[in-house]
Chains A and B, each alone.
Chain A
Amino acid sequence: MNNKLLSLIRTDLNITFGLSSLMYNIKNKKKIFPMAIIVLALMSLLPSYILMVRALDSFYDVFRQMGQQSYFLHIGFMSAQMIVLVLGIMYVMSKYYFSNDLPQLVPLPIKPSDIIGSKFVSLMVSEYLTSLPVILPFIIIYGRAGNEGLPYWAMSLIAVVALPILPLAVSSVLIMVFMKYTNIKGKKDLIRTIAAVLFIIFVIFVQIKINQMTSQNLMDSENFMFNLARDANLLLNRAGVAFPTAMWAALALTNGFSPAGFFYILLFMGTGIAGFILMMLLAERIFFDGLIGNIEVSAAKGRGGKVDSTSIVKARNPIITMAKKELLMIFKTPVYLMNSVGGVIILPALLAISMLTGGDAYEPMKEMIMESREILILGSIGVIGSFGILNSLGATTFSREGTNMWIQRTLPIKPKVQILGRTLSSVILQVLGGVLLILGILFMVPLKVSEVIIILLFGISASIPLTMIGMVVDITRPMTGWTNPQQAMKQNLNVIISMAIGTLYIFGAGFLGYILLPDQSLLMILGIYAVIIFLSTAFLYKLLENLIQSKFMNME
């Protein structure tokens, strides 16, 4: 590895994870309290994680009873690689093409593959944070239940380290090709964002299709039960046709230090390395093609048009103007758009896709839903409400200001304008998500007009306090020192902290509904929810008012 690449990797890791600034803060005893909050927030996610791992444990038992434990490992590797691939598409796009350091790196005497190589390594480190929590429970559950020895754990270590390489290389290649051919002048950002969201939905669609084909393939045999009993890797081999790398990893682990084990681990690592080399070769050829148009500054010499100041100048209510400014910034910044809109449309889109492609498989589910309308209505309200957290807008609203924060702080406006304007911008996206969810449900079951109105009205109202929870967290510890908009959204712990608090709020409300549902009418439950929404909104509004006032004064 050359020195340039090493230096690039070192710098990129430092910037991405804020290592120097972390050391500075520790040395100067600054921000120790916020760090403690971060640790607490992460710990608050632990109980839900432990619950999931326990569920996984019983999942393993099902496979053990069938004698198909190897398939359990396959599912683990497949899930982890799929997650790395899907997230990788979003990460790669913003990291390779929208980072602020690119205008500084491009003029340097370094090869495109050096830039891509360094960014790839730092993305890989980030992806471990996603892949490890997914794959480790599978490996540990399997290893403990089977009393596996050193060969198993050694193979696991290699497989876990190599896991993100291939999916990340695949997403890098896809994005580089995608960016080369969408480098169209004009509405480039918008075209790319819409295309990227469609692309992610397409990848998930393909994934669902593969799953369906796999499950058909699994059962599609006259002697299935007989073969199942005879061949311990039957499920693995059949499913592996669709996702071979996960199968190789699973086979490497189950075969341990045997020729077969070494063969499969080499195959698993080899495909990763091959993918990486292909990506580096491609980077040399096409990376700059997609990038240069992206960072070039089109000289503002009036091509956007001289505007007639008498017709374009419009006076609006400051709250509306604040909301409009927020939405403009979101829609014109691909990373913001993908995360916020992505957060509210992927769920309804998935629902619609699975219903459209699932055929008869979902019939029992549809019948169940038809029988309990209350659960459908309350559940939908909960989902729309959760968009207030899932779109990440509240939790990043002040962080997104970045170096422009001085503008907000020198404006002669009341906290009310900040709160209502920013909440309104988020609510508009929640309305979009709500409408899409209703459409998604309509693919499944018919809804009455009154039900649609109740779901939208309560769902959107419920999303307001959740948006405000995000805003409270964000104004308490705004992250304005970012150099790349991705950091404001993706590497902003305020999003995770808000999700932890928001999840408690939603689960609390859901639990209340669960207790009340057997004895109370739907109307009564909705009435109670209305009171909760109103009181929490009023409380959070007051809290925000005080926080904004004091934080805008004391920020440095």
Chain B
Amino acid sequence: MLKIDGLTKSYNKGEIRAVDDISLEIGDGEIFGFLGPNGAGKTTTIKMIVGLLKPDDGEILLDGMDVWEEPLKAKSRISYVPDNPEIYDRLSGIEYLNFIGDMYGIPIGERSEKIKHFTSVFNIGNALGDIISSYSHGMKQKLVLTAALMSNPDLFILDEPMVGLDPKSSFNLKEIMRTMCNEGKSVFFSTHVMEVAEKLCDRIAIINKGKIIAMGTMEELRRTAQEKESLENIFLELTENE
């Protein structure tokens, strides 16, 4: 589904390498977790995949198609949920969903059905007529999730999706990710919550100071680290050694 090759991004005229020559591949139907401490380069990588930051070097291919060469085609197959749900505060929830629906060209029947389904899963159906500025952080997050899922994306990219979600919605989101993967779609997300990554992800990459320092299934990661109990220990050991 997604192939990243030699991806690099620097700031301050090359002084700071936020992402340093990373390569990875995500297969169809795979949930891929992206772990790393603050400032490791997770968000920068994600922003390059979704078209928000232009890479200095390297390529990002979606089923062989360069996402920077064919941005419209790529964007219509990707949905992105940022770490901070900054959306149009002055619109009502339903106005925002309709806006996104029109931009993705989602047919009315499908749109209506998806809105009904996901707003009920995330329990925000009652607030759709309210203005977004009256929403809590978690409710905004749920609205962004609904909007992102409405287009039925092939690749679902989420930056710290569990932050701000209540336990039930968090559980539901994990279920949704699982269902998507069963349908052959892929999920790529960054997280700080080790437990989520450990239980949910088919494969995990750990990024530190812009470089991928470990990648593989939980089992493979356990083999590379000395402490083999939990992902948290592996994570701490790997990032401290750097």
- A221 close to B (CB within 8 Å): no
Q: Are A304 and B131 in contact (CB under 8 A)?
A: yes
B residues 64-82 touching A (CB-CB < 8 Å): 68, 71-73, 75-76, 78, 80, 82
Q: Which residues of A contact B223 (CB under 8 A)?
A: none
Tell yes or no: B171 within 8 A of A by CB. no
Asked if A297 and B103 make an inter-chain contact with CB atoms under 8 angstroms apart, the answer reads: no
Residue among A313, A315, A403 with the most chain B CB within 10 A? Answer: A313
Is A554 a contact partner of B88 (Cβ separation < 8 A)?
no
Question: How close is B86's CB to chain A, nearest CB, in angstroms?
Answer: 4
> A311's closest neighbor in chain B, by CB?
B112
Looking across the interface, which residue of chain A has its beta carbon closest to that of B79? A410
Q: Report the Cα distance A410→B46, complex, angstroms.
A: 12
Binary per-residue interface labels of chain A (424-464) against chain B in the complex, 1 for a CB within 8 Å, 0 otherwise: 00000000000000000000000000000000000000000
* Residues of A contacting B102 in the complex (Cβ-Cβ under 8 angstroms): 315-318, 321
State whether the Cβ of A302 lies closer than 8 Å to any Cβ in chain B: yes
Q: Which of B50, B82, B90 contacts A332 (CB 8 A)?
A: B90
CB <8 Å contact, A301 and B127:
yes
Closest-CB distance, A332 to chain B (whole angstroms): 4
A364 contacts partner chain B, Cβ-Cβ < 8 Å = no
Q: Which residues of B contact A407 (CB under 8 A)?
A: 87-88, 100
Which residues of chain B in 97-120 are interfacial with respect to chain A, using CB atoms and an 8 Å cutoff? 97-108, 111-112, 115-116, 119
A368 contacts across to B, CB distance below 8 A: none
Query: With a CB–CB cut-off of 8 A, which chain B residues contact A542?
Result: none
B112 to chain A: which residues have CB within 8 Å? 309-310, 313
With both chains docked as a complex, state the minimum distance between the C-beta of B181 and any C-beta of chain A, in angstroms: 22
Q: Which of A149-157, A258-266, A344-352, A411-419 contacts B (4 or more CB under 8 A)?
A: A411-419
Contact pick for A309, options B92, B116, B139, CB 8 Å: B116
CB-CB under 8 A for A404 and B139, given A313-B112, A412-B103:
no
- Of A301, A328, A406, the residue contacting B90 (CB under 8 A) is A328
Judge whether B104 and A411 touch: CB under 8 Å. yes
Which residues does chain A contribute within 8 Å of B106, judged by CB atoms?
315
Question: In this assembly, does A144 line the interface, its C-beta being within 8 Å of a C-beta of chain B?
Answer: no
Contact B76 A412 (CB under 8 A): yes
The verdict on A105 contacting chain B, using a C-beta distance below 8 Å, is no
Question: Which residue of chain B lies nearest to A297 when distances are taken between CB atoms in the complex?
Answer: B134
Q: Are A300 and B103 in contact (CB under 8 A)?
A: no
Which B residues are CB-close (under 8 A) to A404? 86-88
Query: How far is it, in angstroms, between the C-alpha of A413 and the C-alpha of B71 when the chains are bound?
Result: 9
Q: Are A298 and B91 in contact (CB under 8 A)?
A: no
Residues in B neighbouring A305, C-beta threshold 8 A: 129-130
Measured CB to CB, the closest approach of chain A to B97, in angstroms, equals 8
Which of B25-33, B51-59, B183-191, B230-238 has 4 or more CB atoms under 8 Å from chain A?
Answer: B51-59
List residues of chain A with CB within 8 A of the CB of B22: none
- When the two chains form the complex, which single residue of A313, A406, A556 contacts B82, counting CB atoms closer than 8 Å? A406
Looking across the interface, which residue of chain A has its beta carbon closest to that of B95? A328
A410→B50 contact, CB < 8 A: yes
A329 at the binding interface (Cβ < 8 Å): yes
| Interfacial chain A residues near B119, Cβ < 8 Å | 309
**Which A-chain residue is minimally distant from B112 (CB atoms)?**
A313
Number of interface residues of B (CB under 8 A): 53
Residues of B contacting A302 with CB < 8 Å?
126-127, 129-130
- Chain A residue with minimal CB distance to B125? A306
A303 within 8 Å of B (CB atoms)? yes
Query: Which residues of the other chain, B, contact A313 by a CB distance below 8 angstroms?
Result: 94, 97-98, 101, 108, 111-112, 115
Return chain A residues, CB-CB under 8 Å to B82. 406
Residues of A within 8 A of B139 (CB): 300
* Shortest Cβ distance from B80 into A: residue: A410
Interface residues on A, range: 35 or more
Check: B12 CB closer than 8 A to any chain A CB. Answer: yes
**A315 contact set on B, CB distance < 8 A:** 98, 101-102, 106-108, 111
0 or 1 for each of A288-309: is its CB under 8 Å from B? (1 = yes): 0000000001111111111101
Chain B positions within 8 Å of A414 at CB level: 72
Evaluate contact between B127 and A325: CB separation under 8 angstroms: no
Q: Is the CB of B111 within 8 A of A307?
A: no
Interface presence of A185 (CB below 8 A):
no
Q: Which residue of B lies closest to A555 (CB)?
A: B52
Cα A407 to Cα B144 in complex, Å, equals 10
Cα distance A436–B99 in the bound complex, in angstroms: 31
Query: With a CB–CB cut-off of 8 A, which chain A residues contact B53?
Result: 556
Assembly CA distance A406 to B147 (angstroms): 14
Given the interface pairs A328-B95, A414-B72, the reply to whether A306 lies near B108 with Cβ below 8 Å is: no
Any chain B CB within 8 A of the CB of A365?
no
Say which residue of B52, B76, B108, B135 sits within 8 Å of A314 (CB atoms): B108
Least CB separation from A312: chain B residue? B94
Distance in Å from the Cβ of A552 to the closest Cβ of chain B? 8
Interface: B179 (CB within 8 A): no
A503 CB-CB contact with B under 8 Å:
no
Residue A333 at the chain B interface, CB threshold 8 Å: yes
A321 touches B98 (CB 8 A): yes
Q: Is B133 an interface residue (CB 8 A)?
A: yes
Closest chain-A Cβ to B168's Cβ sits at a distance in Å of 17
A523: Cβ under 8 A from any B Cβ: no
B-facing residues in A509-556 (Cβ within 8 Å):
552-556
Chain B residue at smallest Cβ distance from A415:
B72
Name the A residues within 8 Å of B127 (CB-CB): 300-302, 304
Interface 0/1 of A347-360, CB less than 8 Å to B: 00000000000000
A28-B12, A321-B98, A333-B90 known; A304-B133 Cβ under 8 A: no
A412 to B84, CA, bound (A): 21
Please pick, from B75, B92, B135, the residue contacting A410 in the complex, using a CB distance under 8 A.
B75
- Tell me if A285 counts as interface (CB < 8 A to partner B): no
The answer to whether A409 and B125 touch across the interface, beta carbons within 8 angstroms, is no
Q: A493 to B20, alpha carbons, bound, how many Å? A: 37
Whether the pair A297, B133 counts as a contact (CB closer than 8 A) is yes
- In the complex, what distance in Å separates the CA atom of A403 from the CA atom of B91? 15
Interface assignment of B213: CB less than 8 Å from any CB of chain A? no
Residues of A within 8 A of B131 (CB): 300, 304, 332
**When A312-B94, A313-B111, A410-B75 are in contact, do A307 and B103 touch as well, CB less than 8 Å?**
no
Contacts A304-B134, A313-B94 given; 15 further ones with Cβ under 8 A?
A: A300-B127, A300-B136, A306-B129, A307-B128, A309-B115, A310-B112, A313-B111, A315-B101, A318-B105, A325-B88, A403-B84, A406-B80, A409-B52, A410-B52, A556-B54
Q: Which residues of B contact A (CB under 8 A)?
A: 12, 50-54, 68, 71-73, 75-76, 78, 80, 82, 84, 86-88, 90-92, 94-95, 97-108, 111-112, 115-116, 119, 125-131, 133-136, 139
Residues of A within 8 A of B (CB): 28, 297-307, 309-310, 312-318, 321-322, 324-325, 328-329, 332-333, 402-404, 406-407, 409-414, 417, 552-556
The 19 listed contacts between A and B (C-beta, < 8 Å) are A297-B134, A298-B134, A303-B130, A304-B127, A309-B119, A310-B112, A310-B116, A312-B98, A313-B94, A315-B111, A316-B98, A329-B88, A329-B90, A410-B51, A411-B100, A412-B73, A413-B72, A417-B103, A553-B68
